[in-house]
Amino acid sequence: MNIKAIILSTALVLSGSTLFAQQDSDHKYQRPLKDVLMEISKHFNVRLKWTDVIVDGKMLDYADSRIRPYSVEESLNNVLAPFDYKFVKQGDNLYKIKNYEYARITDEDGVKMINYLNSLYADSVQWNKRKECLRKEVRERLGIDPLLKARVNAKPVISKERIYSGYTVQNFSLETLPGLYVCGSIYKPLIKGKFPLIICPNGHFLDGRYRKDQQQRMATLARMGAICVDYDLFAWGESMLQFPGEAHRKSAAQVIQALNGISILDFMYNRKDVDKKRIGVNGGSGGGSQTVLLSVLDQRYTALCPVVSLSSHFDGGCPCESGLPVFYSCGGTVAAELAATNAPKPMLIVSDGQDWTSTVPTLEFPYIKRIYDFYGAADKVTNVHLPAEGHDFGPNKRNAVYNFFADAFNLKKQMLDESKVTIEPKENMYSFGDKGEKLPKNAMRSFEELEKLLNTLK
């Protein structure tokens, strides 16, 4: 045997001896996490997916004692728990390993949560106590009231009207806190009169409020006889003139977006062309999360329509939806319960079969309908479920919205024609110029400036 072979053989023996020696209680039976996962995959004949960052350098104490040879899922739970990891089953033999998600639980846990919530109230008296608790604690945990008190009460700057077929569009900018601006668009019927108002917070769809289907929805509702207002997410759109995109995933985004929604309703509410008895709120995905939150914070809304958002097992994956402890209110709540605080006001829940709203027809909707029935108003809440569709704001979802608000606010269904809508380039919808050259001089220019202000308001 040559020298190289002797060295290699010795190294292998020493390596094996070292590994074997570490498999005792003195060394906590420690093994690399990657090796344990590969062993689980082989033993149960399943595929496990993970990224390198999940396993690189990770050592698992008491590794073998965590494996249950009779259950792949019990084994994975035991192995992943020390690292705050979880698994998601993506097929009969496929599991994805992910970081723990504070905003998401399993569908099965959602059922348990709904059962628990149902046990808390058997009639309108018990529910009203719970509702008042939720409204109070949501405000406190969000921290909205100090911000509302600190507003500058500036008048919005509104652009000239752009006239189209049956509707007009105007841009606006509004200073809320000192140096903090929100921008959006007002879609209005071309005729004169007094109209219902629909506030439309935006979701995380590509191109935000500037995208085609957003403009179609706003303009069509305006053609049908409603004033519709949409606006940028925090650190999206023109808000990015003030803050980098990553600021959108700060927890402060949740309260700032609520501040924006309330402030926009405030300045629109007292307009002579707004009917105060018909005030709606409608958004999809993250905009649906805002729809529910705004309806809890502000009782001026008389109808609401969250689209592809409502759930009992997902609070919203962006900190702008769940970054503040709103869902810990009154011992724990979910979006479905928060939406139910609107009973007996008209509400449409739009859901689909390919995202977290897939359980709405069998879980969240019956739960909410039960609460509406406390008021003899079970017919006031409806669900349009699209089992073959996914997470978007497509034509079937928009048609559901049109029909709902037509019924709730007596809009003109004969004016429902998206082909009459002019899709504007995003530059037309900017308040501060194509390159932000009109941004006010006092505007904040960093998230640190905003953070400093928020800290003084706590």
Residue range 173-184, pLDDT digits in tens: 999 999 999 999
pLDDT of 153 reads 86
Distance of CA 27 to the CA centre of its chain: 44
Q: Label residue 427 by pLDDT band (50, 70, 90).
A: very high
Contacts of 403 (CB under 8 A, 6+ apart): 413
- From CA 208, how far away is CA 210, in angstroms rounded? 5
CATH class of 124-453: alpha beta
Q: Is 411 helix (H, G, I), strand (E, B) or coil?
A: coil
pLDDT at 165 over 70: yes
pLDDT at 6 over 90: no
Determine how many CB atoms are found less than 10 A away from the CB of residue 324: 20
The model carries a pTM of 0.91
Digit-coded pLDDT (tens) for 366-400: 999 999 999 999 999 999 999 999 999 999 999 99
- From CA 443, how far away is CA 431, in angstroms rounded? 14
- From 397, 335, 390, select the one nearest 367 (Cα to Cα): 335
pLDDT at 96 over 60: yes
- Over pLDDT 70: what percentage of the chain? 95
pLDDT of 91 reads 85
Contacts of 107 (CB under 8 A, 6+ apart): 313, 359
The full length of the chain comes to 458
pLDDT of 7 reads 35
> Taking the C-alpha atoms of 240, 244, 245 and 251 in order, what is their torsion angle to the nearest 10 degrees?
-110
- From CA 327, how far away is CA 348, in angstroms rounded? 22
Digit-coded pLDDT (tens) for 286-343: 999 999 999 999 999 999 999 999 999 999 999 999 999 999 999 999 999 999 999 9
Of the two residues 402 and 458, the one the predictor is more confident about is 402
| Domain ranges across the chain | 21-99, 124-453
Q: Return the DSSP state at 193.
A: S
Tell the CATH topology of 21-99. Answer: Phage tail protein beta-alpha-beta fold (3.55.50)
Contacts of 254 (CB under 8 A, 6+ apart): 142, 293, 319, 320, 321, 322, 323, 324, 326
pLDDT of 1 reads 46
- From CA 202, how far away is CA 399, in angstroms rounded? 18
pLDDT at 83 over 80: yes
Digit-coded pLDDT (tens) for 225-274: 999 999 999 999 999 999 999 999 999 999 999 999 999 999 999 999 99
CB 182 within 8 A of CB 173: yes
